[in-house]
């Protein structure tokens, strides 16, 4: 149930706006309890979570640095009609890294974007839901894109972006194969980081250390992080030890062994993953700060609500990740790997505004 005369989605939008600026979750829950009857809370919470996925996508576009404009179109239409308004009006201006082209080599790509999420491995839209969104896009002469997040891959920012380019089809399906066949890697100018085979890591903790840094509940402060790649070894002390630990955590590090001697503990870490996309790297960075219960403090909606502040509201972005990675390329510990066929990617980039 919702307050009389107010739809579930309109109530969810209002509550989400309140939640984004509330000082704490407890404050938000108190406000919600006044507005929403207990029997309607579950439905409204699900609607708020759905709206938050839109913020998740918008934040990733902001962090990837190839989106010049993004405006939410969630307002209720003043004049109704046989259409559904997509979630965003956006403009992308990506470079094409592996061909040496920058965003200045692109005229930009304007589009409308509908954001969805699913716990299945495929998302489909058809019938009036698809037709009415197409009607809106055709009225304004803009391409229609669907951005779908596959929620089963929880630790990753697994967004699939495809264009609804064939209007003769009565349905549109989006699946994991569209990570390569779709347009995400083009619009975000994205690639993977690949570790040199055999690379592992050693993290040194000191229970007597008083310096500020990452504290392990049992081992103490981390004071050194070592990268071991064959006969190469790179060592980072504080504060860089913390930065590079966070960077490589995106490769899903697992403890292989622990060696303790007096106040020192050396933990050997091995990666479960050899490849990691820039988007996944950013998502991992954002989720690393945790509360006292070990839960991530990350909240895309609150970050976006504060993004107009002088600090930009966002502690990490693509430039930061690439700056951290830069010396590792020089030492051949890390490599860049493209997504899909190089020639096909260049042709696709040109279709989306590339001028070279």
Three-state DSSP class for 130? helix
**C-alpha–C-alpha distance, residues 141 and 332, integer Å:** 47
| Cα dist from 19 to 32, 312, 350, whole Å | 9, 19, 41
Span 212-229, pLDDT tens digits: 877 888 899 999 999 999
The predicted pLDDT at position 232 comes to 87
**C-alpha–C-alpha distance, residues 88 and 185, integer Å:** 19
Span 19-74, pLDDT tens digits: 666 767 777 777 777 777 776 667 666 555 555 678 889 989 998 999 999 999 97
Q: List beta partners, residue 111.
A: 90
The structure tokens listed for 353 are 């505004």
Q: Using N-to-C axis directions, what is the helix angle for 41-64 and 278-287, rounded to 10°?
A: 130
Low-confidence stretches of the chain (pLDDT < 50) are 1, 309-311
**C-alpha–C-alpha distance, residues 233 and 235, integer Å:** 7
**285 exposure class (CB count in 10 Å sphere: 0-12, 13-18, 19+):** buried
**In contact, 182 and 151? CB cutoff 8 Å:** no
| Residue range 44-189+345-351, CATH number | 3.40.1350.10
The predicted pLDDT at position 210 comes to 85
Which pairs from 267-274 meet CB under 8 Å and 24+ separation?
267/202, 267/203, 267/204, 267/205, 267/219, 268/200, 268/201, 268/202, 269/200, 269/201, 269/202, 269/203, 270/200, 270/201, 271/195, 271/199, 271/200, 271/201, 274/194, 274/195, 274/197
The predicted pLDDT at position 305 comes to 57
Phi/psi for 158 (5° steps) reads -85, 80
**In contact, 221 and 233? CB cutoff 8 Å:** no
Cis peptide leading into residue 239 (ω within 30°) = yes
**In contact, 188 and 167? CB cutoff 8 Å:** no
**C-alpha–C-alpha distance, residues 109 and 103, integer Å:** 11
Which residue's structure tokens are 């495929």? 122
**C-alpha–C-alpha distance, residues 227 and 254, integer Å:** 14
List helix spans (H) across 194-317.
240-249, 278-287, 300-305
The predicted pLDDT at position 209 comes to 87
Supply the pTM of this predicted model: 0.82
Each domain of the chain, given as residue ranges in start order, spans 44-189+345-351, 193-337
**C-alpha–C-alpha distance, residues 190 and 169, integer Å:** 29
CA 334 remoteness from chain centre = 21
**In contact, 22 and 267? CB cutoff 8 Å:** no
């Amino acid at each position: 149930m919702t307050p009389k005369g107010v739809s579930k989605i309109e109530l969810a939008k209002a509550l989400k706006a309140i939640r984004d600026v509330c000082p704490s979750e407890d404050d938000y829950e108190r406000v919600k309890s006044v507005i929403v009857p207990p029997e309607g809370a579950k439905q409204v919470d699900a609607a708020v979570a759905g709206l938050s996925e839109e913020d998740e996508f918008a934040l990733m576009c902001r962090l990837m640095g190839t989106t010049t404009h993004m405006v939410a179109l969630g307002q209720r239409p003043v004049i109704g009609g046989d259409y559904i308004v997509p979630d965003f009006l956006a403009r992308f201006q990506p470079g094409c890294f592996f061909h040496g082209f920058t965003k200045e080599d692109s005229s930009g790509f304007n589009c409308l974007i509908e954001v969805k999420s699913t716990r299945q491995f495929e998302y489909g839209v058809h019938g009036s839901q698809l037709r009415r969104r197409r009607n809106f896009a055709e009225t304004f002469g803009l391409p229609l894109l669907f951005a779908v997040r596959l929620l089963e891959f929880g630790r990753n920012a697994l967004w699939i972006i495809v264009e609804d380019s064939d209007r003769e089809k009565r349905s549109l399906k989006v699946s994991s194969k569209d990570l390569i066949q779709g347009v995400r890697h083009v619009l975000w100018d994205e690639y993977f980081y690949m570790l040199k085979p055999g690379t592992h890591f050693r993290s040194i903790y000191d229970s007597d250390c008083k310096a500020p840094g990452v504290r392990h509940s049992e081992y103490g402060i981390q004071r050194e992080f070592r990268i071991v790649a064959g006969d190469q070894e790179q060592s980072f002390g504080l504060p860089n030890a913390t930065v590079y630990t966070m960077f490589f955590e995106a490769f899903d590090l697992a403890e292989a062994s622990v060696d303790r001697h007096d106040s020192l503990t050396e933990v050997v870490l091995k990666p479960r993953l050899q490849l990691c996309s820039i988007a996944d790297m950013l998502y991992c960075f954002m989720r690393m700060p945790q509360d006292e219960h070990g839960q991530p403090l990350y909240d895309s909606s609150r970050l976006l609500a504060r993004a107009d502040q002088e600090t930009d509201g966002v502690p990490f972005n693509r430039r930061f990740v690439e700056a951290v990675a830069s010396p590792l390329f020089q030492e051949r510990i890390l490599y860049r790997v493209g997504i899909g066929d190089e020639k096909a990617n260049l042709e696709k980039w040109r279709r989306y505004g590339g001028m070279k």
